[in-house]
Amino acid sequence: MMRTTLSVIKADIGSLAGHHTVHPDTMAVANKVLAEAKRTGIIVDYYITHVGDDLELIMTHTRGALDTKVHETAWNAFKEAARIARDLGLYAAGQDLLSDSFSGNVKGLGPGVAEMEFEERQSEPVAIFMADKTEPGAFNLPVYKMFADPFNTAGLVIDPALHGGFKFDVLDVYEGEGVTLNTPDELYDLLALIGTVGRYVIRRVWRRQDDLLASTVSIERLNLIAGKYVGKDDPVLVVRLQHGLPALGEVLEAFSFPHLVAGWMRGSHYGPLMPVSQRDARATRFDGPPRLIGLGFNIKNARLVGPSDLFDDPAFDGARKQAVEITDYMRRHGPFMPHRLEPAEMEYTTLSLVLEKLKDRFKREEDVAKAKQSIYSKESNE
Ligand code: 13P
Ligand code: 13P
Ligand code: MG
Ligand code: MG
């Protein structure tokens, strides 16, 4: 049986009018590179899209994850697109390409990667979710809901094939160490970790009964790779659907609540994750609000059938309206936490400069009080 690999690789290679949207010419040149890779048989099929300023390459092939040729194809597509971005004077051209040279695969070079290799089921439905102005941990809450919350996913209760539960691989992105937790039995331990979204990130989900790989998330944190602010990580989530896995509708249900995520404006603010159609996949207000698109495909003999634009639907108007209301509410906090991120998570930070400038002016409270005291006693003696 042929094994199929789905590789979603993304990067911000520069954008139009700020961190807003990709330019069609950059997508066109990436398309040329992928068309050539399809012609020469490196990949079987592909689809190119974008969310906000992030260029997304969705590729299918039979070469397994971390394949050098597939990754080199993606890298070349990003390099070419960045070249066009420079020619057009686009903003932050080459933003996520942290290296000039490619060595084996794109990991650690800046692009985000979500890949899964599997044996195609008779019908292989998948959903691909792509977000802008946020970080990989933004998917912790919805992925938890899809695979572990019976109030979201009816199948956990009523479908014997889901009833055995799922395994979550959780990565500590600071230490680079992972742990696997089983649900439902270790639900509370899982939540204790993944509630800290900036550190513990759900990396993969497996079905327990047969170790079927059900979902994967891109976990790159650019700021941790680069050691300085280089843009947000703008993650990707791939979910296999149906037939012993959550149904498409159960997976989409998890995004009906526009939860707060980190990464809005300058990578330094919390805001609601707003599910939008491809048409509305552009960051606008305060460079957001953070946006999510979803595309549904079937995969047949490694060919991509589709997509369907999953949030292009009035059923998500309520979530969008709520996201706009939350936007108004959060924005009124201006530079105050918890709209602004906590200092340790701040990526564009002047805080250290301000502290340096003021360091000689900081005085201990009791010294200030003593100084005041001596002034008063001097005055009263006079
Ligand atoms: P089984 O019903 O064969 O376990 O598998 C269903 C499925 O979703 C993966 O093949
Ligand atoms: P991106 O990470 O999407 O490039 O956004 C950067 C930013 O700071 C937007 O305000
Ligand atoms: Mg950008
Ligand atoms: Mg982006």
101-139 pLDDT, tens per residue?
Answer: 888 888 878 899 999 999 999 999 999 999 999 999 999
Q: Tell me, what's the pLDDT at 371?
A: 86
Q: What percentage of the chain reaches a pLDDT higher than 90?
A: 80
**What's the confidence (pLDDT) of residue 368?**
87
212 lines ligand 1 (CB under 6 A): yes
The partner residues of 91 in beta bridges, in order of sequence, read 15
Tell which wins on pLDDT, 232 or 150. 150
Q: Which of 192, 200, 213 is nearest to 140 (CA)?
A: 200
| Ligand 2 proximal residues by C-beta, below 6 Å | 12, 19, 52-53, 95, 132-133, 231-232, 234, 265-267, 287
The residue among 2, 1, 69 whose CA lies nearest residue 34 is: 69
- Pocket test residue of 232, 233, 273 for ligand 2, highest count of atoms within 8 A of CB: 232
Report the pLDDT value the prediction gives residue 1, as an integer from 0 to 100: 65
- Mean pLDDT score across all residues of the chain: 93
Mean pLDDT value across residues 223-240 = 76
CA of 212 to the centre of ligand 1 (A): 8
Where exactly are the structural domains of the chain?
1-118, 120-356
232 flagged as catalytic: yes
Across residues 227-252, what is the average pLDDT? Answer: 88
Determine whether 12 is an active site residue: yes
Cβ-based neighbour number of residue 230 at 10 Å: 19
Average pLDDT (74-85) is 97
Residue 243's φ and ψ, nearest 5 degrees, are 45, 65
Owner of token pair 């998917």:
139
3-state secondary structure of 314: helix
Query: pTM here?
Result: 0.93
Question: Which listed residue (38, 229, 280, 300) is catalytic?
Answer: 229
pLDDT at 338: 97
* pLDDT tier, 373 (very low <50, low <70, confident <90, very high otherwise): confident
Mean pLDDT score, 138-151: 98
Give whole-number Cα distances, 215 to 90, 127, 177, 240, 359, in Å. 34, 10, 19, 6, 49
pLDDT surpassing 60 at residue 347: no
Residues 206, 212: Cα–Cα separation, whole Å: 5
Nearest-CA residue for ligand 1 atom 5 is 244
- What is the whole-number distance in angstroms between the Cα of residue 210 and the centre of ligand 1? 9
* CA–CA distance, 44 with 65 (Å, rounded to integer): 14
Give backbone dihedrals phi and psi of 6, rounded to 5 degrees, phi first.
-110, 120
Higher pLDDT pick, 1 / 134:
134
As its CATH architecture, domain 1-118 has 2-Layer Sandwich (3.30)
> Any catalytic annotation for residue 229?
yes
